[in-house]
């Protein structure tokens, strides 16, 4: 009887540590293959369960995603344990539906320490309390994070002074532990909505710092940052600390309040440089002139001297971090094709005619339409204004679409109509931009000029 009990005990222990991935042995040349939600659950169990000698089972192990996972993953990798392996996303995307509003350290990965996560995108939704990130909630010492894209909406329920919320990464906490260095983050982008009413919130990273500095470079936000708070909140990194190294950081996304910093919030790292944001999209009262740019200045190779060779540039498009191919996804291309406003205008105060970017012809054009009839978008991207009010512009590129809301202000009508002789527009329009079939007494616009009819 004892022999049978011993046999089943050994069998149970072996089964507990056996791996059931879609293939592979976990070595660098033969990584464990992740092909479905069950494989993700297995990786989560492996991360949370110590090995026979008490060590982290993922330490020194390699994992590779073999395809997009569209079935929503509702769990986390490392709810209780640290991920210490190498996760190669292979340029694929994982759909998330993580809803843990009272939990901390919430994201696809909970905590990554001395491990790597790279070449991966996520979509869907992530909800948590403190330390919330679309891909990694809390990377720490010697974590390597690169070529990462977040398309998911990321939300925090916390009102804490350090809620630490970001589209890609929640909060990086690196501590002084022997010779261990800080985390390294490079070539990452956020395209999702990031929201929360606590502090330390940013489009890409919420917080970075503590006792050992982290290195952050070549990251950009294209998404929407929203909060009712205003402390330590910024377009790209909410709160980088003094001992971080922060270079080539950009924000092309929108902010819900002008009280947020355009790109970096709160602290000023001593090793910092090449920081830019779009003043017309991310309108802010926290003005840093050396960092501000008009949208038109950002297009093509306009900022190549500032951002360098780790970015992709194309005519009529915003720069994109080179993410080993993820910069060419439909969403990445779509968000790199902006509304191009006249100098002095911003999205919530449009007073002059403008243009919309159609993207780069190599990959096909982005298609725009106006939903409320206040704007007429022509084939070359010229936008003619026909009246004041709120207009919603919808841009579509292959499988991706997005809405951009603009608020058109009342003007004298001269700057409102974008008409030139080359367009052949012989239509009479009143000062509100409305077409008039038979003009009577008054002032009208015709062929781009003011005409007085007596």
- pLDDT at site 3: 36
Instruction: For residue 105, give every residue at least 6 positions away whose Cβ sits within 8 Å of its Cβ, in sequence order, or none.
Output: 111, 128, 130, 131, 137, 138, 170
| Stretch among 46-55, 201-210, 331-340, 416-425 having the lowest mean pLDDT | 416-425
87 located within any domain: no
Residue 379 lies in a domain: yes
Which of 120, 122, 200 lies closest to 156 in space, CA to CA?
Answer: 200
Q: What letter does residue 366 receive in the DSSP assignment?
A: P
Q: Is pLDDT of 277 > 80? A: yes
The answer to whether position 69 is within a domain reads no
Residues 204, 343: one domain?
A: no
pLDDT in tens, 240-259: 988 899 999 999 999 999 99
Same domain, 112 and 212: yes
Q: What angle do CA 62, 63, 67 make, to 5 degrees?
A: 155
381, 357: one domain? yes
Average the pLDDT over each of 264-268, 280-284, 331-335 and give the range with the smallest value: 264-268
One domain for residues 367 and 331: no
Instruction: Tell me what pLDDT residue 46 has.
Output: 96
The model's pLDDT over 340-383, given as tens digits with 9 standing for 90+, comes to 999 999 999 999 999 999 988 776 799 999 999 999 999 999 99
Give the model confidence (pLDDT) of 155-168 as tens digits. 999 999 889 999 99
In sequence order, the 6+-apart residues with CB closer than 8 A to the CB of 387 are: 373, 374, 408, 432, 433, 434
330/361 same-domain check: no
Answer with the one of 305, 336, 367 that is the final residue of a domain: 336
Residues 354 and 331 in one domain: no
39 lies in some domain:
no
Q: How far apart are CA 161 and CA 179, in angstroms?
A: 30
Reported as a pLDDT band with limits 50, 70 and 90, residue 416 is very low
Instruction: Using DSSP bridges, classify how beta strands 382-385 and 354-356 pair: parallel, antiparallel or unpaired.
Output: antiparallel
- Is 189 part of any domain? yes
Side by side, which strands form the sheet with 382-385? Answer: 339-340, 354-356, 382-385, 375-377
CATH number reported for the structural domain that contains residue 412 in this entry: 2.60.40
Helix (H, G, I), strand (E, B) or coil at 143: coil
Same domain, 141 and 193: yes
Give the Cβ contact number of residue 371 at 10 Å. 12
Residues 345 and 328 in one domain: no
Which of 336, 366, 381 is the C-terminal boundary of a domain?
336
Q: What is the mean pLDDT of residues 409-422?
A: 46
Together in a domain, 393 and 259: no
Predicted pLDDT at 231: 86
Both 352 and 329 in a single domain?
no
pLDDT tens, position by position, 22-81: 999 999 999 999 999 999 999 999 999 988 887 889 999 999 999 999 999 999 999 999
Is 70 exceeded by the pLDDT of residue 301?
yes
In DSSP terms, 33 is beta-bridged to 64
The answer to whether residue 137 scores a pLDDT higher than 90 is yes
Task: With respect to residue 11, please indicate whether it lies within any of the assigned structural domains.
Answer: no
* Range 409-435 average pLDDT: 50
What's the domain count of the chain? 2
Based on the fold, state whether residues 129 and 245 are members of the same structural domain. Answer: yes
22 occurs within a structural domain = no
Task: Answer yes or no: is pLDDT of 268 > 90.
Answer: no
- Here the CATH number for the domain that contains residue 129 is 2.160.20
What's the domain range around 181?
A: 102-336
Q: What is the mean pLDDT of the chain?
A: 88
**Are 122 and 183 in the same domain?**
yes
Q: Could you say which of 336, 359, 393 is where a domain stops? A: 336
Residue 454 predicted with pLDDT over 60: no
Q: What is the average per-residue pLDDT within 328-339? A: 96
- State how far the Cα of 308 lies from the Cα of 306, in Å rounded to an integer: 6
């Amino acid at each position: 009887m004892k022999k049978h009990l011993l046999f089943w005990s050994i069998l149970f222990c072996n089964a507990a540590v056996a791996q059931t991935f879609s293939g592979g042995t976990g070595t660098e040349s033969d990584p464990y293959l992740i092909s479905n939600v069950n494989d993700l659950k297995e990786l989560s169990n492996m991360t949370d369960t110590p090995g026979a000698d008490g060590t982290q089972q993922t330490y020194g192990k390699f994992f590779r995603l073999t395809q997009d996972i569209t079935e929503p993953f509702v769990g986390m990798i490392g709810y209780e344990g640290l991920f210490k392996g190498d996760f190669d996303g292979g340029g694929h995307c994982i759909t998330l539906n993580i809803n843990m509003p009272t939990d901390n350290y919430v994201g696809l990965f909970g905590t990554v320490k001395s491990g790597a996560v790279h070449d991966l995108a996520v979509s869907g939704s992530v909800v948590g309390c403190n330390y919330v990130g679309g891909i990694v909630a809390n990377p720490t010492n010697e974590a390597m994070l690169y070529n990462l894209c977040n398309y998911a909406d990321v939300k925090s329920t916390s009102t804490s002074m350090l809620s630490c919320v970001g589209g890609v990464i929640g909060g990086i906490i690196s501590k002084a532990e022997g010779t261990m260095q800080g985390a390294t983050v490079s070539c990452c982008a956020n395209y999702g909505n990031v929201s929360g009413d606590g502090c330390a919130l940013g489009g890409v990273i919420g917080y970075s710092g503590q006792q050992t500095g982290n290195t952050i470079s070549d990251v950009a936000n294209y998404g929407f940052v929203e909060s009712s708070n205003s402390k330590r909140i910024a377009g790209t990194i909410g709160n980088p600390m003094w001992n971080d190294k922060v270079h080539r950081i950009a924000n092309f996304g929108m902010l819900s309040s002008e009280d947020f910093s355009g790109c970096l919030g709160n602290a000023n790292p001593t090793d910092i440089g090449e920081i830019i944001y779009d003043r017309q999209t991310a309108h802010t009262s926290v003005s840093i002139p050396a960092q501000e740019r008009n949208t038109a200045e950002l297009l093509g190779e306009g900022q190549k001297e500032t951002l360098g060779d780790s970015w992709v540039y194309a005519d009529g498009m915003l720069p994109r971090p080179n993410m080993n191919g993820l910069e060419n996804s439909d969403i990445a291309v779509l968000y790199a094709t902006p509304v191009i406003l006249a100098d002095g205008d911003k999205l919530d105060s449009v007073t002059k005619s403008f243009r919309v970017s159609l993207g780069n012809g190599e990959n096909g054009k982005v298609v725009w339409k106006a939903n409320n009839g206040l704007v007429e978008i022509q084939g070359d991207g010229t936008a003619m204004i026909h009246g004041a009010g709120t207009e919603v512009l919808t841009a579509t590129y292959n499988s991706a679409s997005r809405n951009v809301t603009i608020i058109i202000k009342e003007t004298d009508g001269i700057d409102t109509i974008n008409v030139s002789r080359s367009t052949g527009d012989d239509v009479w329009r009143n000062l509100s931009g409305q077409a008039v079939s038979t003009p009577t007494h008054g002032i009208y616009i015709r062929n781009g000029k003011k005409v007085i009819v007596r």
